[in-house]
Amino acid sequence: MNIKSLFFTLVMVVCVPAFASAKPVLTVYTYDSFASEWGPGPAIEKAFEENCDCDLQFIALDSSIGILGRVQLEGASSKADIVLGLDTNLMATARETGLFAAHGTSLAGRTALPTSFEDDIFVPFDWGHFAFVYDSTKLATVPTSFDELLAAPEDLRIVIQDPRTATPGLGLLLWIKSVYGDDAPKAWAALSPKIVTVTKGWWDSYSMFLEGEADMVLSYSTSPAYHIVADGTDQYKAASFAEGHYMQIEVAAMLKGAPQPELAGKFMDFILEDGFQAVIPTTNWMYPAGKAALPDAFDSLITPAKSLLFTPDEVATNKAAWVNEWQMALTQ
């Protein structure tokens, strides 16, 4: 045996065990704030990896709409095992792609949602209501209903998000439609003079609000809890509207072509366990879908008088027409 052959043999002896012991990778597509260092991703990764003997990797995308668009583009060749961060408004569209598999997880008795939820493909992981957030030290007259918001003086400045690219933006579209029905275009026309800008994503508009460029921002009823815990202030509030608030339930699903189907199934079941649910309130700033304790900061949040929610099929059937209606109303 020459020197080169001996060297190659030694390298193989050393390296083969290392390759053989490499842990399987579970790939989860999610939105960027979930995977960020201040989001729930790191804690969930640690908790799941303690028992899975695997490497859980989150791939951060810009939004729930972006997540679905990515797997639609990749199709059956997607490297993702799971998508996490879709919501009820995208469920029907996602189901129609045929890319997702039944999760095989029992949801019975494991959820704490304010509405019933049973589905063979999607597992809920958190929920909340859309709301307009304001600074109580700056805004003296706060609308207590959508009607009051529409009738407010035009110098009331609000920032919202685009329903085509941002989950809250789509939530507002559905919120107004559920309250005003066929009169939604009139509601948008009344709201339009107060809109400073329509941003692509949630953070774009929320940062404008924090910098004083708007009086109110479209966000979540749970957003004030973040400021209480992280900033030590209760000056930020969510306006409670008499007509009710549109609800969001975020969900996860596993792909039919998942490279790690067994691990994906275990993760889907893990979603409703305490290791996942307990970190949601103070990292994703939403209500946990499972039975987990809430921090004291949630005690002061508004409780909507009514939860508004279209079925996934209603959204899928009407979304394009309602977005077109929104565009026409804002450009008149």
The CATH code of the domain that includes 322 is 3.40.190.10
User: Same domain for 119 and 267?
Assistant: yes
Quick check: 184 and 325 in contact, CB under 8 A? yes
Note the pLDDT of residue 57.
97
**Start-to-end Cα distance in the chain:** 83
User: Same domain for 189 and 322?
Assistant: yes
pLDDT category, 62, cuts 50, 70, 90? confident
Backbone angles phi, psi at 197, to 5 degrees: -165, 160
User: Same domain for 326 and 211?
Assistant: yes
Domain span holding position 320: 129-247+299-331
User: Same domain for 55 and 203?
Assistant: no
User: Same domain for 198 and 226?
Assistant: yes
User: Same domain for 41 and 75?
Assistant: yes
User: Same domain for 305 and 215?
Assistant: yes
User: Same domain for 7 and 116?
Assistant: yes
Is the model's pLDDT at 93 over the cut of 60? yes
Tokens of 254: 């596993």
User: Same domain for 192 and 266?
Assistant: no
Quick check: 160 and 218 in contact, CB under 8 A? yes
From the number of C-beta atoms within 10 Å of its C-beta (0-12, 13-18, 19+), residue 284 rates as: buried
User: Same domain for 105 and 85?
Assistant: yes
* pLDDT tens-digit series, residues 223-269: 999 999 999 999 999 999 999 999 999 999 999 999 999 999 999 99
What's the whole-model pTM score?
0.90
Residues 6+ apart with CB under 8 A from 83: 28, 29, 30, 67, 68, 71, 94, 100, 252, 253, 255
Per the structure, how many domains does the chain have? 2
b/e per residue 138-168 (b: at least 16 CB within 10 A): eeeebbeebbebbebeeebbbbbbbbebbbb
Note the pLDDT of residue 15.
47
Question: Which three-class secondary structure state does DSSP give residue 258?
Answer: coil
* Distance of alpha carbon 33 from alpha carbon 39, whole angstroms: 6
